[in-house]
Structure 1
Amino acid sequence: MNSAIVTVTTTASPLVDQVHRTMHWVDYVVFSLFLSVSLGIGIYFAFAGDRQRTAKEFLTGNRSLSLVPVAVSILVSFTSAILILGAPAELYLNGTMYLLYTIGKVIAIILASLIFVPLFYPLKLTSSFEYLELRFESKAVRILGNLFYILSSILYMGIAMYAPSAAMDFCSGGSFNIYMSIAASGVIGTAYTLLGGIKAVVWTDVFQAGIMLIGIFAIIIKGTIDVGGPANVWAINEKYGRIQFDEFSFDPTVRHTFWGLTIGSAVGWLGTYGVNQAAVQRYCALPNISKARQSLWINIPGAMILTWTASAAGMVIFAYYQYIGCDINGIGWARGKNDIVPYYVMDQLGQYYSIPGLFVASLFAGALSSVSSSLNACAAITWKDILEPLFFKDASETKSGWINRILTLIFGILGTGFGFIAINLGGTVLQASLSFTGAVGAPSLGLFIMGAFIPIVNKYGAFVGAVAGLAINMWVSIGSYSAGNQEISLPGNTSMCNVPGQPWARSLRTLRRH
Structure 2
Amino acid sequence: MFSGMAAILIKGTIDVGGVDAVWNKAMDGGRFNLFNFDPDPTVRHTFWSLFFGSLARGLGFGFNQPTCQRISSTKSLRDAYKVMLLTAPLFFLTMSLACYEGIVAYAYYQSVECDPLQSDQITNPNQIIPYMVMDIFKYLPGMPGLFMASLFSASLSTLSTGLSSMSAIFLQDIVKKIYKEEIPEMKGTVIAKLSVVVSGILACGVAMLIAQIGGTLIQITGTVLSAFGGPLAGLFLLSSLFPWANKKGALVGTLISLALCTWLGMGSSFSKTLKKTPWLPPASTDHCPVDNLTSWVENMKV
TM-score when normalising by structure 2: 0.91
1:400 has 2:191 as partner = no
Distance 1:358 1:485 in 2: 40
Counterpart-to-counterpart distance in 1, 2:146 and 2:181: 47
> What is the Cα deviation at residue 445 of structure 1?
1.7
Equivalent pair of 2:213/2:269 in contact (CA under 8 Å): no
1:246 aligns to 2:30 (yes or no): no
Q: Is residue 330–residue 491 contact of structure 1 (8 Å, CA) maintained in 2?
A: no
CA distance in 1, matches of 2:235, 2:6: 40
Runs of 4+ more than 6 Å apart = 509-512
Q: What is the total number of aligned residue pairs between the two structures?
A: 294
Residue matched to 2:264:
476
Amino acid at match of 2:139: Q
Match of 1:270 among 38, 54, 59: 59
For residues 369 and 508 of structure 1, the distance between their equivalents in structure 2, rounded to whole angstroms, comes to 38
2:104 corresponding residue in structure 1? 316
For residues 392 and 413 of structure 1, do their structure 2 counterparts lie closer, same or farther at Cα, with a shift above 3 Å needed?
farther
For structure 2, the residue ranges without an aligned partner over 5 or more in a row are 297-302
Q: 2:299 maps to what in 1?
A: none
Q: CA deviation at 1:441?
A: 1.9
C-alpha distance after superposition, 1:71-106 (max 9, x if no partner): xxxxxxxxxxxxxxxxxxxxxxxxxxxxxxxxxxxx
Shift of 1:379: 0.6
CA distance in 1, matches of 2:116, 2:136: 13
2:220 alignment counterpart:
432
Answer whether contact 2:106 2:283 (CA < 8 A) is retained.
Answer: no
Q: Does 1:419 align with 2:207?
A: yes
Say if 2:258 is the partner of 1:442. no
User: Which residue is equivalent to 2:19?
Assistant: 230
- Describe the shift of the 1:372–1:351 C-alpha distance in structure 2 as closer, same or farther (beyond 3 A): same
Q: Residues of 2 paired with 1:397 and 1:445: CA distance?
A: 32
Q: What is residue 76 of structure 1 aligned with on the other side?
A: none
CA contact (8 A) 2:239 2:245 kept: yes
How much does 1:328 deviate?
Answer: 2.3
Q: Evaluate the alpha carbon distance shift between residue 393 and residue 257 of structure 1 in structure 2; reply closer, same or farther with a 3 A threshold.
A: farther
| Displacement of 1:392 | 5.3
5+ long unaligned stretches in structure 1: 1-211, 499-504
> Could you tell me which amino acid in structure 2 is paired with residue 244 of structure 1?
N
The reply to whether residue 361 of structure 1 matches residue 145 of structure 2 is no
Alignment check: 8 A CA contact 2:120 2:295 kept:
no
| Amino acid corresponding to residue 126 of structure 2 in structure 1 | N
* Greater length-normalized contact order (CA 8 Å, ≥ 6 residues apart): 1
Shift of 1:367: 1.1
The Cα RMSD (Å) is 1.9
Instruction: Name the counterpart of 1:112.
Output: none
Query: Residue 253 of structure 1 aligns to which amino acid in structure 2?
Result: T
1:406 Cα offset (Å): 1.5
Structure 2 residue aligned with 1:291 = 79
Query: 2: CA distance between counterparts of 1:337 and 1:308?
Result: 19
Map Cα deviations across residues 46-80 of structure 1 (whole Å, 9 max, x no partner).
Answer: xxxxxxxxxxxxxxxxxxxxxxxxxxxxxxxxxxx
Q: How far, CA to CA, are the matches of 1:422 and 1:443 in structure 2? A: 21
Deviation at 1:486, TM superposition (A): 3.8
d(CA) in 1 for partners of 2:285, 2:226? 40
- Secondary structure, aligned partner of 1:331: coil
Where 1:455 maps in the other structure, the secondary structure is coil
Q: Is the 8 A contact 2:119 2:285 kept in 1?
A: no
The one-letter code sitting in structure 2 at the alignment partner of 1:300 is A
